[in-house]
Structure 1
């Protein structure tokens, strides 16, 4: 591990000043960053402890929810308002990791975690544009069973590993940011970048910009939501495909819907095409199939992961059918 200087931020202003230093990184729970430092993939010169920052989970004036960036994943999953109003979020977090990791991991850290692509971690024998820009991508022609089928590029086919971020994306969450230039907010669906020719630039965060909170807007149907994850083993495994969904059905028709996919792209994939296809249609398996087919029309599988298209299709249809049946 490369030597580094450690600082502890007592508030947001201190954290913003500290991370302005060259090669500074924020330390929340450390469940991803410390591993990356051990592997020398990340080599920060300054490590800024931000665990003293906002960890509150409070109701907003409009009836939504504001979650502090330093809130632990377990605290979010177990919060009464989250469980009652946003069950998809609780289920996604619980599906995400072991209890020990959830107890340590923070909301902001979860959003900022990096891919688990094998080639990204293989610093000795593999080329990776995400790790070393311009080096090449060995995953494209290598073993790519877990890799992206949507939104990938010639430079990178890695997937984003978060479960929580998929649920938050489906819920129209907004990320609040702070830097020495002031504050701004970004829809979570726009927070992570697709790889293009710079897969090493993973989010829209500016230099020395800090995630301060996540805000969930009130949705009339957010309580009628769920998360389904398909993985290689029953616990502590990243998604091959996951689905976060919320649906409102009225008189047998889909009045409104939110849908996001995990395990299929470089970012949590908001299924806007499927949502548009579904609104006003009968809440039937046939409609759900047509909608997800519209979303997956642009899928570009690699040699080992073509199964993800049919898997995503079946999991989406089953998830929406179950929600619609519960609503009937």
Structure 2
């Protein structure tokens, strides 16, 4: 396969996955804003995750259009700014994933934890402050200190991303371990508690899938960025960046990150009960399904897996056995 052919395939794949990712995440944000059932405090960080992934997809899409082989136009230093925006929004995305895990871990670990102590307004304030602080950090360094900007983009950011992945995985490990410990003490005759234990595990496994897919899709890109930074410092032979295997891994890492932008909303909408219950109604609003069919599916979902039951599953389990308040389900 020629170099030009490989470049076309790479850029077309990036454009395709970024477009799908931007559409899915934008649709997720619209659904959370328009559907009252989805406008909940526990969904603030999920909304922030969708927003960050949408911005990442748009930045990557535009960047690949300008970098497309034999494209006749270049807009100043636009590519560098788009890389800055892409990386900055990716960091926000991973920190949102970590925030979701920490929030649910606090429900377990903090006594008398409730919505009064950690409100939706506080979650929104944290997200807004995060966007402002990181935007100023990334773009000011890009504008006024190129060396510091390179360090931030190619060293600090991948390290933060990998750190967020590790901390998120540990958080869900401790949560799942405690749920298993609690459910093991549930008597078989307590059918309601047994069902709630299964529902709690289901929700945690859902977010674990997000962590697993994120890990698989991001590790290669982060490692490639660190190698590039090492080559910039002279710690790695600069000729390494021109080797075929490095170029292939670098392209693969970027493609996997773009695929991850699709996986996050897909996993959340197909596995979280409250989102899955609203999916027929959202599709019906877009004219994707017949009204009667949508209502029938929605009724079936309500009868088979009540969102109220899912939301109270872990709460009732821990309240029954540990006398603490918990609500990890969405």
TM-score (norm. length: structure 2) = 0.26
Larger Rg belongs to: 2
Structure with more strand by fraction: 1
Query: TM-score under structure 1 normalisation?
Result: 0.26
> Hey, which of these two has a bigger chunk of helix by percent?
2
